[in-house]
Amino acid sequence: MTTTGADLPRLRELNSLSIVRALRNHPPSTVTELSRRTGLSRPAVDVIAQGLVTDGWASVLEPGASSAVGRPARRYQFRAGAGHVLGVDVGVHKILALLADLDGDIVHSVRHAVDAQAGPAERLAELDEVVSACLTGAGKTPTDIWAVTVAVTGAVDSSGRTSFFTPLPGWKSVDLAAHLSVRFDCPIVVENDCKLAALAERWKGAASDADDIVYLLAGMRTGAGLIIDGVLRRGFGGAAGEIGALPHVRWLKAPGHLQNCPGVPETVGPDDAAAWVFNAAREGHKAARSAVSRYVKDLAVGAAALVLTLDPQVVVFGGGFSRSADLVLDPLRREIERLCLRMPEVRASTLGADSVALGALKLSLNEVDQRLFSAGLSAPVAPRRT
Amino acid sequence: MTTTGADLPRLRELNSLSIVRALRNHPPSTVTELSRRTGLSRPAVDVIAQGLVTDGWASVLEPGASSAVGRPARRYQFRAGAGHVLGVDVGVHKILALLADLDGDIVHSVRHAVDAQAGPAERLAELDEVVSACLTGAGKTPTDIWAVTVAVTGAVDSSGRTSFFTPLPGWKSVDLAAHLSVRFDCPIVVENDCKLAALAERWKGAASDADDIVYLLAGMRTGAGLIIDGVLRRGFGGAAGEIGALPHVRWLKAPGHLQNCPGVPETVGPDDAAAWVFNAAREGHKAARSAVSRYVKDLAVGAAALVLTLDPQVVVFGGGFSRSADLVLDPLRREIERLCLRMPEVRASTLGADSVALGALKLSLNEVDQRLFSAGLSAPVAPRRT
């Protein structure tokens, strides 16, 4: 290959990109290390790395006084603050937005309660407000954001809508990505809440050591997210993990045992009944203990269907009810063991109800890295929709 | 890198290996094409290719008279007859062995009936006889065989045994690989019958166009094999696809509707009752039609559990009962559609009961290719256990 004068700027851009890649996901590196990793000459790396510092892609670590042997070298590191990502959970009762840098460190978060009966217009307006507040709180504008992922309840089809089913009133035809694209010109992804929670538990939660994970999102609704061979299972049409829709495996009626438990005071609303029952069971309330026991037995049938189908390494008990893992985990283990051929580990979520928004953040980070490492990119640039 | 005299034989072997790889899974190729594919010089390719022909790895296609422009070049092709593989199905009622060349073309097959109640010693003796007859019939010896895969009923654990469960009497502790290793020193794999049948349907059956497949092995027992993103799902401990063990999804009782159908003549044995019922239903027998209908309803519950969990592209109805797909497919589709969120395609197996042995053959071929293309190999050699 001969290089003409006109090719030179492009070649410099390509070399910048390979240095960015050599910095990303590595500890701070010297010019010598970067030269070895990229195959570029040390002088070329030196010039390009300084350019990347100027452009905000990299920062410099000057050698400390402690490195006393010889002349210590300065190190370059990927600047996590070069860009930011958003992860948003649009739930039945709340909207939670997390804004993080490219290391996934959270810079700002905003949480608003939403009326479970709110229609699409009201919920979208609330979403816009939460996102605005999150950007403002972090001192960012939409152009600072490199990827947005929004979690919704219900399987997300190929058009980004929850057309199969969603408990959010009037939400089936909502095109969230189109709505957000007015404000953001970065990649926007819409994904199912259970799937994202599973991703979060593998990222920095209860299953960070596992590649085969069944995640249970347990609350007043029960859902599942599946990670198979390290990859989030979306399904051919986006509807994987929806075992709960099959009446035979009892997830549809499982939370009813808690909601309809005898003895729940009239002052306790339907949304708080389960929490009251778990607390009462913990204090020895007989009907409450029996309700929890029946809840776990039904939860275990659907869990067993997933375990028998996939034979995972780990089952993670997550979602709002995971606050009561102390009451659920042991009987859940016993029931799964009774119903299944090979027993997986059963662990409690360590992220709780925030796992959904954290998973959305992780998918945004994946989206950024995928674009940064895609063969098509000709220079280091912030991701934009094409 | 400098090359000393002592390195030369090894270098020649490595180059032979790269030519073998450049021939495998390609149409017949000229020296020029092989040179381009491997980066070796044309004279080097010429010498090595002739050596591979001498060693039996390649054959020569002399240019036909039709290629009249210029001096037409000879072409080399991978010799499918360089090695052979075995695929064996050790079933409840039969043992079937298939012997094929490296293109998967079947050279010889032997099928023996076995008593369903036969103990391990009797069944292993029968297996040995079937394998011997297959080798003899093909004019081969054990050293001609490069990989053996044996299918068994029941999930296969990491030790190659069906320790979780198997309907074969006394078979749980049988170490088939150890038994066969006395005769074969090539790689030996033991795998579950449903998983292998799924592999076969994707290889050359009803789902060759799909990457996400739920395969149903329907007979007097019902099982499942899963292919996810193009990869056979074994499970963390080998027990994926065993949804049938969960009573709630009704596979345990589904075939009973056929076996206990009123009107089956006393002269028809329990193993043939289902076939009688399907035939009678086809001829309008009322009780038989009702039995088939109840069978399909129960089959659909387990199928729906798999579909809701995985959201596959295709469900393949296979196994012995797939001979009656004309009666099963439409009502099965209706039931799955009623129970699931997104409807997959439902297709009848095109391989029928031979799919298990064919899948075993395919896994043997995969094993050979994996070794041929593994980075560890230093020369083209027939696979041997390490």
All residues of chain B having their beta carbon less than 8 Å from the beta carbon of residue A245 are 308, 339-341
Q: ipTM of this model?
A: 0.91
Q: Are residues A213 and A310 in the same domain?
A: yes
Q: Is residue B384 part of a domain?
A: no
CA-to-CA distance for B218 and A264, rounded, in angstroms? 48
- A361 pLDDT more than 90: yes
* A148 and A47 in a common domain: no
Asked which of A78, A112, A131 is the last residue of a domain, the reply is A78
Q: Does residue A329 carry a pLDDT above 90?
A: yes
Task: Mean pLDDT check: name the lowest of A97-101, A282-286, B126-130, B376-380.
Answer: B376-380
CA A246/CA B180 separation, integer angstroms: 44
Structural element, H or E, at residue A146: strand A145-152
Map residue B178 onto helix, strand or coil: helix
Instruction: Answer whether A271's CB lies under 8 Å from A255's CB.
Output: no
Chain B residues close to A305, C-beta within 8 Å: 243, 246, 248-249, 305, 309
Note whether B324 and B221 are same-domain residues.
Answer: yes
Residue A133 lies in a domain: yes
Residue B132 is inside which H or E element, if any? helix B120-138
For residue B54, being part of any structural domain is answered with: yes
Q: Is residue A386 part of a domain?
A: no
Q: Are residues A220 and A337 in the same domain?
A: yes
In residues, how long is chain B?
386
DSSP code of residue A121: H
Q: Looking at CA atoms only, how far is residue B286 from chain A in angstroms?
A: 28
Query: Over the stretch A251-300, which tens digit does the pLDDT of each residue have?
Result: 999 999 999 999 999 999 888 999 999 999 999 999 999 999 999 999 99
Task: Note whether B309 contacts A: Cβ–Cβ < 8 A.
Answer: yes
Distance CA(B230)–CA(B228), nearest Å, equals 5
Number of H helices, E strands in chain B: 11, 12
Cross-chain Cβ contact A240/B310 below 8 Å: yes
Q: How much is the pLDDT for B8?
A: 59
* Band of pLDDT at residue A17, cut at 50, 70 and 90: confident
For residues B219 and B272, membership in a common domain is answered with yes
Instruction: Quote the tokens at residue A113.
Output: 């309660």
Q: Is residue B116 part of a domain?
A: yes
Evaluate if residue B162 carries a pLDDT over 50. Answer: yes
How do residues A29-83 score in pLDDT, each as one tens digit? 999 999 999 999 999 999 999 989 998 899 999 876 555 566 678 899 999 999 9
pLDDT > 70: percent of chain A: 94
| Residues A343, A213 share a domain | yes
* Same domain? B10 vs B143: no
Task: Give chain A positions within 8 Å (CB) of B304.
Answer: 246
Domain range enclosing B280: 208-350
Q: What is the mean pLDDT of chain B?
A: 92
The yes-or-no verdict on residue B385 having pLDDT over 90 is no
- A339–B228 CB contact, under 8 Å: no
CA distance A333 to A344: 9
> How far does A382 lie from chain B, in Å, by closest CA?
30
Taking alpha carbons only, the member of A196, A174, A177 closest to residue A187 is A177
Domain count, chain A: 3
Residue B1 binned pLDDT confidence (cut-offs 50, 70, 90)? very low
- From the list B19, B179, B3, the residue with the least C-alpha distance to B90 is B179
pLDDT band at A168 (very low <50, low <70, confident <90, very high): confident
In this prediction, residue A11 carries a pLDDT of: 72
- The pLDDT of residue B70 is 64
- Report pLDDT digits (tens) over A225-258: 999 999 999 999 999 999 999 999 999 999 999 9
What's the full length of chain A, in residues? 386
Distances in whole angstroms, Cα of residue B45 to Cα of each of A294, B2, B37: 72, 21, 11
From the list B380, B363, B222, the residue with the least C-alpha distance to B301 is B222
The CA distance from A86 to A368, in Å, is: 11
- Name the pairing type of β-strands A345-348 and A314-318: parallel
Q: Report the CATH number that the domain containing residue A101 is assigned in CATH.
A: 3.30.420.40
- Does A310 contact chain B (CB < 8 Å)? yes
Residues A70 and A114 grouped into a single domain: no
Residue B3 pLDDT: 43
The CATH number covering residue B54 comes to 1.10.10.10
Query: Domain check: are A98 and A71 in the same one?
Result: no
What digits encode the pLDDT tens for the residues B51-82?
899 988 999 998 865 555 666 788 999 999 99
- pLDDT category of residue B233 using cuts at 50, 70 and 90: very high
Residues A155, A192 contacting (CB under 8 angstroms): yes
Residues of chain A neighbouring B238 (CB-CB closer than 8 A) = 311, 342
Pick from A148, A13, A134, A133: nearest CA to A83: A148
- What's the pLDDT score for residue A310? 98
B243 interface with A at CB cutoff 8 Å: yes
Structure-token pair, residue B21: 């790889």
Of A24, A52, A78, the domain-final residue: A78
Please name which of A379, A384, A351, A353 lies closest in space to residue A368, comparing C-alpha atoms.
A384
Q: Residue A275 contacts by C-beta under 8 Å, 6 or more apart in sequence?
A: A323
Are residues B11 and B32 located together in one domain of the fold? Answer: yes
Average pLDDT rounded to a whole number, residues A171-200 = 95
**Strand, coil or helix: what is B222?**
strand
| Domain-located, residue B27 | yes
Residue A99 belongs to a domain: yes
Whether B203 maps to a domain, the answer reads no
Q: What pLDDT band is residue B151 in, cutting at 50, 70 and 90?
A: very high
Phi and psi, residue B211, nearest 5°: -110, -15
